Chain A
């Protein structure tokens, strides 16, 4: 059996939403290079709707695939819905991750939450 599902390999080989959004409405960065994983997620938000999401990731195949999938899952969604995204949902959407790689999906969830916190803060709102 291959290490990763076809879905993971697809999002790893052809990652969606790679890049940076200039003047993003929310930015979230998690992880550290010492541990081998860093994710940074950028959100463009209009009227509480996420109109664009981009990411940059330093990490293994599943870290890149998780960032790609997570950004796909929140694009076009209201911020309230994006805030509910769980690592479990990301993992399921990828048709599963090996046990030692689940933390990659956790990073994706955390990066999005952090980007949303940044958005709330910039807009002077609390959750």
Chain B
């Protein structure tokens, strides 16, 4: 059996997205900035895609800036809001300890430029509260950035309420909606969002394309200088095939959000319940307020990379937050943020399901993970010490 359960990393492109891209490679291949008819046809398509995406998000087309993806959108949103704050002497930014690195590393850079950064603590359930945000707001706060859904543990933040708190205090609110777009409903106006980032390849669109929404009146600072594309705020010839693919993918995804959730949630819960049967395992993140596709566990006494390699041998593609898979000596900052100790965070597993996952596949995953965890524990000196009572279990 082959199961791709790493959809939070990237997704397979949909047929609709691929087909939407093709004409813009060899037929309508003009540069939207060109005056001739080939260019103008491309320009019309660009305007059409911008309008369709704006309609899906409930905003104005001119509030959409096409970027190379979620990371660029996050960078530009934060840098723009910081510069606007600086002009009026506001140099305090609030975010959370479990944001994506595109946000955290940009905040590090702003910190070095003299901004004061408050990273909110994340409780064990992985849910930030509007009260926590409100308590951190100061007279000199210029921006709050809280992700819509966490990329590792999948918890869904109360962004509408957080947005309302920000609005009441006159502070800009940015949300990294990379994991949410196409999977959870987005309504820019109703959700009090000033800036939002999304990335097409997380909802079956192409890689290398994304959107920065920024509310009318928010002056964007360029991250990429050059030509006058995107109202002069993002230089570079527009990646029209990718933009057309993204528009088609977002339409398809947004129209099926409820249907997909209705299919996924019972299967996700079955997978959670099945893996919870493994002794000394723990679910990361709130069980209900999480993405319909996300299952995230820690298993005591084993290490995540060997778990992934053996699951791959059984045809399951998954991901882990262990140090060996993070490319650094520390395990996932998200797991550390919700209070998992290093030893536990190394033994983590993320299964992010695709919308067409079947019950048979869920049953197979439960069995495969149970078998591999048991196998690895049987060769683990940590596990032997735990079971012989020489050391104490952290996960009861």
Contact = CB atoms under 8 A, between A and B. Distances in A.
B303 A37 contact: yes
Contacts of B343: 33-34
Given A13-B313, A35-B329, A36-B303, A58 B382 contact: yes
A15 B379 contact: yes
Given A35-B329, A36-B324, A29 B381 contact: yes
Contacts of B346: 33, 36
Nearest to B324: A60
Contact of A58 (B313, B327, B381): B381
A58 B305 CA distance: 11
Contacts of B313: 13
B322 A33 contact: no
A20 interface: yes
A64 interface: yes
What class of interface size applies to chain B in its complex with A? Answer: 20 to 34
Nearest to B344: A33
Contact of B302 (A15, A58, A61, A100): A58
Interface in A33-53: 33-40
Given A34-B342, A58-B301, A64 B382 contact: no
Interface string B294-320: 000000011111100110010000000
B342 A60 contact: no
A38 B329 contact: no
Contacts of B383: 58
B384 interface: yes
Given A36-B303, A37-B303, A57 B322 contact: no
Contact of A20 (B324, B327, B384): B384
Contact of B322 (A9, A15, A36, A100): A36
B126 interface: no
A96 interface: no
Interface string B335-363: 00000011100100000000000000000
Contact of B309 (A33, A34, A57, A61): A61
A65 B323 CA distance: 18
Interface of A: 9, 12-13, 15, 18-20, 29, 33-40, 56-61, 63-64, 100
Interface of B: 301-306, 309-310, 313, 322-324, 327, 329, 331, 341-343, 346, 378-384
Minimum-distance CB pairs A-B, first 6? A60-B305, A60-B324, A33-B343, A56-B381, A58-B380, A36-B346
Given A12-B306, A57-B380, A60-B306, 6 more contacts: A36-B323, A36-B342, A58-B302, A58-B303, A63-B306, A64-B306
